Amino acid sequence: MSSADLSGRVALVTGASKGLGKAMARALAEAGADVAIVSRHDDELRAALVEILDGTGARGTCVAADLSDRAAVAGVAARVLSELGRVDILVNNAGSNTPQAIDAITDDAWDGLVQLHLSTAMALTRAVVPQMRERKWGRVVHISSVLAYTARPGRAAYAACKAALGGLTRAAALDLGPFGITVNCLVPGPFRTELGQRGAGPPDALDAMAARTALGRWGEPEELTGPLLLLVSDAGSYVTGSSLVVDGGWLAA
């Protein structure tokens, strides 16, 4: 059996109806895990689940929920645990962005981004960790961003949240390591997703971002799945408290 084999595991992936979340959920199913996916739009989510499970033999479920609503978060964890019996792997990927300059940030925009990116990651981790601890095995992966290390104009709230995930990762790894649970961050750079390219701006800005990478191109969503499988499987059993940058060399420029 491969050390990256996930047969018998159950994974919960947020923000998985498209883009990086969908690609990661598909990779987990292909590796043998049953998957639960979460996003806001039920129809989009159900269609995504069909594609994620197609040909894999994995079981799956989907939960439509607005994770910017704190009250909805606990319900998501409870439903997945009820339907699939356990959660071995948690991937906190749900995210959004509301670009605003630092002197124009509204309270609603700030609070919404902090809730979605940071508070939801904490709350879902808190909800699923007890049953991981009982089995002495678990994997938690937060999806951060290269904007945790650098920034762009109007991204103060987003960059602050993504940087904070790194601190949450390191502290939680110390709390949970004695119970066989690892906690890590994936730090994507420019990936070819709707959200990523919309946030980059007009076509000349997209070209400039590609040119800045060492590889001279945007990443494809599937190129994040290898690093993910390392962190959530026995192949990465001695990796915890780390932030793994997957950016085509963007930060090296």
> Any idea where the domains of the chain sit in the sequence?
10-243
Whether residue 22 contacts residue 93, with contact meaning beta carbons closer than 8 Å, is answered with: no
| Cα 141 to chain centroid, rounded | 6
CA-CA distance, 94 to 40, in Å (whole number)?
10
Task: Tell me which H or E stretch contains 61.
Answer: strand 60-64
What class does CATH assign to 10-243?
Answer: alpha beta
Task: Supply the pLDDT for residue 4.
Answer: 85
Whether residue 138 contacts residue 182, with contact meaning beta carbons closer than 8 Å, is answered with: yes
Q: Which residues in the chain land under pLDDT 50?
A: none
CA-CA distance, 194 to 23, in Å (whole number)?
13
Whether residue 174 contacts residue 140, with contact meaning beta carbons closer than 8 Å, is answered with: no
Task: Supply the pLDDT for residue 196.
Answer: 63
Number of CB atoms found within 10 A of residue 14's CB: 27
Task: Supply the pLDDT for residue 243.
Answer: 98
Task: Supply the pLDDT for residue 223.
Answer: 97
Task: Supply the pLDDT for residue 234.
Answer: 97
CA-CA distance, 30 to 23, in Å (whole number)?
11
Task: Supply the pLDDT for residue 253.
Answer: 82
CA-CA distance, 95 to 158, in Å (whole number)?
9
Task: Supply the pLDDT for residue 171.
Answer: 98
User: Of how many residues is the chain composed?
Assistant: 253
Task: Supply the pLDDT for residue 71.
Answer: 86
Tens of pLDDT, residue by residue over 126-167, are 999 999 999 999 999 999 999 999 988 899 999 999 999 999
Tens of pLDDT, residue by residue over 62-90, are 999 999 888 889 899 999 999 999 999 99
Tokens representing 203 are 């076509």
Task: Supply the pLDDT for residue 198.
Answer: 62
Place of tokens 């689940």: 49
Active-site residue list:
158
Tokens representing 9 are 């595991």
Orientation of helix 19-30 relative to helix 42-53, angle to 10°: 30
